[in-house]
Structure 1
């Protein structure tokens, strides 16, 4: 099929998009390419394609062009970018937002994209791209093993900053190590990556505006990121997960863990484990053999031991070792534990049997070693204080007076919502606009409710009188804008309470030791807040009810089995909670998905909050102790 366009009348890109809107889906990169090139004269199109687009395709090779485009846009725009058609719309908006002539703008964009395509190929391990530094390439390859594509924009930003000499080589290596630790700890602790798509562009924006050393700032950002969905697990949580989880699955992550532990002892000459697989020292079907059964005092514990850290190692001879006895595995001439030395398996040389105690001792040693390999970031006090001050200033700004736009920003009003007034015989209607303003029925737009009603009244009666528009405009449910503003002010009070709690709790070493330093935590406007304990079945919460004047601490369970187990220790738990107040329990048999153990404390929110902060901090610590009864 051929299409003839009328030059000067038809817009090639619009024709291209409409022709493909009902056919096979185009890649976003196809749409972007044609958007960039079709608006240029034919000779320029060919030049731009040969000089920029074709080299990009070549340097990216088999990598997804759409994935690169997405990550480049996140780095460039410093905000989350939705993939697919929405990404193309966002690109067009960004590309058109310039006063430069079309050709100059297109040239500059393509030049920047080509530069970043080379960086992207390097972080994704394309050998021909490379970083030019073996240690950087090795660290990038290690991070890519974790298959966390959501953090690729962060890698792209770091790599570009290094190439632009805004980060030193040592600074880059430190940032990469911190990012790798952050990702792997979260994976081992089974923390979902859902929150990272918003966190990554936020971190990029903060790094871009930071005045301190980028590596210091990045470490401080990770340390002060305390929201449940984005926080870094503590040493205690990481170690607990290493010793308590089934670490064999997924096998690729298990191999990454064991290889990382081994190569920690070979920093200058790391070994390649491409030909190795994960080996169960006590085989997976050991209970079928008397020799192995006799080594366990309680064979019923075998399922808990077989996939634990202490029972896993690496070997290039998995099929040869197979399900042999421990003696056979040790003494085999080729591939036996005695003949092929790995530091992670040093215990196997002298061991005469492989029982639960031996597995536990080795697991504890490797877990302690893991804390040295995937370390928690460290940051100087200056960088930490800078972030605390910035977050505190942000919280103070958010508590200022509420205007109409604030109601929209906070989701209390949305574009398209209808407003109506019947004050003093004046019937007026208006609509909330996309840009958070008020549009009267005649199309005039105002920033304030009072200004909008004053104009509506003048149009209706000819009178030009000032009236408080907050009290006369109503929403669909009959509530006034002033009532909505009161709701919004409660949001400000909630933010003030949580900011004060973070600041107070940060002064308590006992709290920081358990939950980390909360002083840099993001401002929260919800009625509740969660603190992670490295568990998937429950977490401690704090909550406040301004209207009824009380706060609570509770353990929120999604696992009814674990809740029932705790309920069986009710007397002991209530003794632990007695200093806080009376405990309230959900019945284990209740017909509901989740369960709560809760303690309430009355508060006068018009008075000072220090006592409330102390009570909630104490309560969260006690709830952590209650949780520890289950682990």
Structure 2
């Protein structure tokens, strides 16, 4: 027998209580996707409550079993049978709110939040923490609870704390002293839960099994269909055959759910996809007759045909509209669908022409492209797109209404001047999704109107000045530098910018070649972008900047900007992005002024000046490129006088006898971009291991780019891997990577691989991929893999990089001792991947 009741986080945590996660529960495993969804819910709740709305937003249930030892007094103990993931996440969020408010508002918030929600202050040590995670997560959680230097480590618990710390830093408006208070209020009072409490003596493990071994659930589309035909007692059969069945044949179950969500979003942009059935049911409940319900099914049928056109643009008859639908479909942002459905519906209702809706789609495409080139590809993009239909003007023609909406406020619809400023400096290659970066380059190439047919979708992005600079490239760029300039920082500031990027089908062949070699190859290309580069006699800073200016002008001419040049009035320097990236830096890591500057499209000097003048998260973790503390470093808090190296050591950073931080613990610009979410987590995946042409391409590129010793050693590792039962998969990029597959997609737990090998010379350990793959979603196994690999000569992977994709050079494999040790550890990995995991499908 169980008792269920609605509650809030405040009610759940206040008082002398302790929630213990049993040992049979899996370790904490929420990822950025769940963090972002929760944070979006919280921000919407803040907006709703500010507008006077009451009530709560339901986020799930927790199933509890009281301890048999509970008495009328003392700490009430509960086992968390179900719901530990959200309870742990919310507790970590409260830790982040506590630390932010204590630092930026008043120290009293630390004791207040601790005593109300996080600890039982006056109780014995074993009852001190209100939440006791499972053993593997306990140390990481206590570091956050106690705000020690180890808080925010590289494990999943630390990742949650760092994520919320970064979001709070970004959300804190200096001109609004109550904004974080409103967020705290929304968290503790606005998030609704159902607390389900078992009775003493109940078998909690049986309850746990029954919760996580249910059969196939009805989809929301199934529920809505059943509801609709329940409301059609006399017309049901005729309506089903004439309207519903054709709709069901045209759209899959997932597409039907998408249709019903799109319909709701056009009325209320806040509707979530988890609320499709309840939202449509509440709307339909207001209808009284069968005729009204039948009209709704007919309307769904009509909208379903329009959604089919959005999903399959080739069905569109108008060439202008078809072209824009194809491009927006290729961009891959489904939150633009409500607008597209609205536009096609407007045309069908004859309130807009094909030319007008094609024009509106061009403005949306321009909005996407311009945001990408200024480094704002993902900022609030979903909220902006979902609100267009409900918030744009009804007085203007539809295309001008879309443009006016996107131009108003802080939506980052970049003006012409912003584009010209950003293109030479922003790290284009680190922004947005890889396929979107490729698309913009493809569309730029198409704008040249070449008559020579080139399969643009088969090309990949090439860094003309390579990411790994050779002696020749050092000499070329070195001649452009002033006496006070550092080569590494100058290289980082240029290498990922749009001016240094092009498209090629010869990425691996070009690789790190000198410009003289690349120039010859590019001159033979049928791609106009490459012809411009080949026309240069050298490729240094001046040439890269000149090409960036030219591309900025072309972007401006192809993609129209906002309605007014004043639309984008924010600072060109992305200090908020810097704060977010620094807040995500794990304890035990550090970065440089140059890395931060490359990330935000600035220069190390203004970055240093900013950090010395304005408070920023983890500013003490930003060092000079050699790993030394800047002579100009000072704490934003004038009362602090300690040596930052002492704090860094306490956090786990190692220093040599010259007081230089360990370079293996450095987080470089590309990794900062991953941490800050500039490049969403599109993990590269393997193709089928039966695709022999890709296998041949990998071997060909490996032997072309590496010495015979390195190539043979690498191939020996692959042979040994397949000998122990593993298989090989291959990437489809210009540089053909090889994946060591321990399980294929057909496995009940899905595919998994420990590493990817790149012919250009990297053996990459894919911790980021492993963090969501059973059984390596357990951080203790990933940590064991890291420690095993660090036993190899020449390998030193920092603990702070356990959420990223670090690696080591293929040259390491030439040493037979290192190669044998690697194979031993790969064998261990393979065995772990094959071991049955009873609760592998359970996500609590």
- TM-score normalized by the length of structure 2: 0.41
CA shift for structure 1 position 270: 9.3
Aligned residue number for residue 273 of structure 2: 83
**What CA deviation, in whole Å up to 9, does each residue of 1:489-543 have, x standing for no partner?**
xxxxxxxxxxxxxxxxxxxxxxx86x439xxxxxxxxxxxxx622443159xxxx
Count matched residues: 376
Match of 1:28 in 2: 220
Q: Of the candidates 158, 170, 174, which is equivalent to residue 359 of structure 2? A: 174
Q: Tell me, yes or no, if structure 1 residue 236 matches structure 2 residue 280.
A: no
2:511 is aligned, of 299, 322, 328, to 322
Q: Within 2, Cα distance between the matches of 1:273 and 1:516?
A: 34
In 1, Cα distance between equivalents of 2:525 and 2:382? 43
Residues 156 and 272 (structure 1), Cα distance of their counterparts in 2 relative to 1, 3 Å cut: farther
Query: Where does 1:473-512 land on structure 2 (aligned, <5 Å)?
Result: none
| Matched residue, 1:370 | 555
Provide, for residues 28-80 of structure 1, a one-character-per-residue CA deviation record: whole Å limited to 9, x for no partner: 21211111123334x844443333333223323486332222112222x2543
3-state DSSP class of the match of 2:457? coil
After TM superposition, give the deviation of residue 118 of structure 1 in Å.
Answer: 1.8
> How far apart, in 1, do the equivalents of 2:507 and 2:332 lie?
25
Q: Secondary structure at the match of 2:461?
A: strand
Q: Aligned pair 1:245/2:426, yes or no?
A: yes
The correspondence of residues 210-225 of structure 1 with structure 2, limited to 5 A, is 210-223=394-407, 225=408
Q: CA deviation at 1:374?
A: 2.1
Give, in whole Å, the separation in 2 of the partners of 1:282 and 1:231: 30
Q: Distance in 2 between matches of 1:377 and 1:270?
A: 33
Match of 1:105 in 2: 292
Report the secondary structure of 1:64's partner residue: helix
- Quick one: structure 1 residues 591 and 64, their matched pair in 2 at CA, closer, same or farther if it must change by over 3 Å? farther
CA distance, structure 2, for counterparts of residue 62 and residue 319 of structure 1:
42
Alignment of 1:115-514 (within 5 A): 115-125=302-312, 127=314, 130-191=315-376, 195=380, 199-200=384-385, 202-207=387-392, 210-223=394-407, 225-226=408-409, 228=410, 230-249=411-430, 250-266=433-449, 272-285=455-468, 287=469, 289-297=470-478, 298=481, 299-300=487-488, 301-331=490-520, 336-378=521-563
Distance 1:274 1:61, change over 3 A: farther
Structure 1: distance between partners of 2:405 and 2:343:
14
Q: Call closer, same or farther: CA 1:108–1:569 in 2, change over 3 Å.
A: closer
Residues 124 and 242 (structure 1), Cα distance of their counterparts in 2 relative to 1, 3 Å cut: farther
Task: Give the match for residue 567 of structure 2.
Answer: 516
Contact 1:151 1:196 survives alignment (8 Å): no
Q: Residues of 2 paired with 1:62 and 1:126: CA distance?
A: 20
Give 1:366 deviation, angstroms.
0.7
Conserved? CA contact 2:264–2:271, under 8 Å: yes
State whether residues 167 and 214 of structure 1, in contact with CA within 8 Å, keep that contact through their aligned partners in structure 2: yes
Aligned-residue offset at 1:216:
2.6
Deviation at 1:195, TM superposition (A): 4.5
Equivalent in 514, 532, 537 of residue 570 of structure 2: 532
Cross-structure match for 1:51: 242
- Tell me the C-alpha RMSD between the 2 structures: 3.6
Q: Distance in 2 between matches of 1:203 and 1:70?
A: 15
Partners of 2:557 and 2:237 lie apart in 1 by: 54
Secondary structure at the aligned position of 1:346 is classed as helix
Alpha-carbon distance change, 356 to 190 in structure 1, aligned in 2, over 3 angstroms: closer
C-alpha separation in 1, matches of 2:261 and 2:611:
49
Contact 1:70 1:87 in 2 (8 A): yes
Distance 1:110 1:210, change over 3 A: same
Q: Tell me the distance in 1 between the aligned counterparts of 2:541 and 2:607.
A: 29
Identify unmatched segments of 5+ residues in structure 1.
1-19, 379-511, 518-530, 540-558, 571-585, 593-631
Task: Note the alpha carbon deviations across 1:146-166, whole angstroms, 9 max, x for none.
Answer: 332222201111122123321
**Are the equivalent residues in 2 in contact too, given 1:125–1:137 (CA < 8 A)?**
no
Distance 1:35 1:190, change over 3 A: farther
- Contact persistence 1:279–1:312 (CA under 8 A): yes
Deviations along 1:527-564, whole A, 9 cap, x unmatched? xxxx622443159xxxxxxxxxxxxxxxxxxx999675
SS at match of 2:570: coil
Q: Tell me: CA distance 1:120–1:265, structure 2 relative to 1, closer, same or farther (3 Å).
A: same
Query: Per-residue deviation at 1:92?
Result: 0.7
CA contact (8 A) 2:244 2:301 kept: yes
**Are 2:260 and 1:69 equivalent residues in the alignment?**
yes
Q: Report the secondary structure of 1:278's partner residue.
A: strand
Query: Does the 8 Å contact 1:310/1:359 carry over to 2?
Result: yes
Report how far residue 178 of structure 1 moved.
Answer: 0.7
Structure 2 match to 1:392: none
Describe the SS at the equivalent of 2:517: helix
Deviation, 1:192, is: 6.9
Q: Which protein shows a greater Rg? A: 1
Give the Cα–Cα distance (whole angstroms) in 2 for the partners of residues 62 and 122 of structure 1.
17
State the partner residue of 1:428: none
Of 213, 223, 232, the residue aligned with 1:40 is: 232
Gaps of 5+ in 2: 1-210, 482-486, 578-599, 615-633, 641-844
Q: 1:221 to 1:270 in 2, by over 3 A?
A: farther
TM-score normalised to structure 1 length: 0.53
Alpha-carbon distance change, 268 to 159 in structure 1, aligned in 2, over 3 angstroms: farther
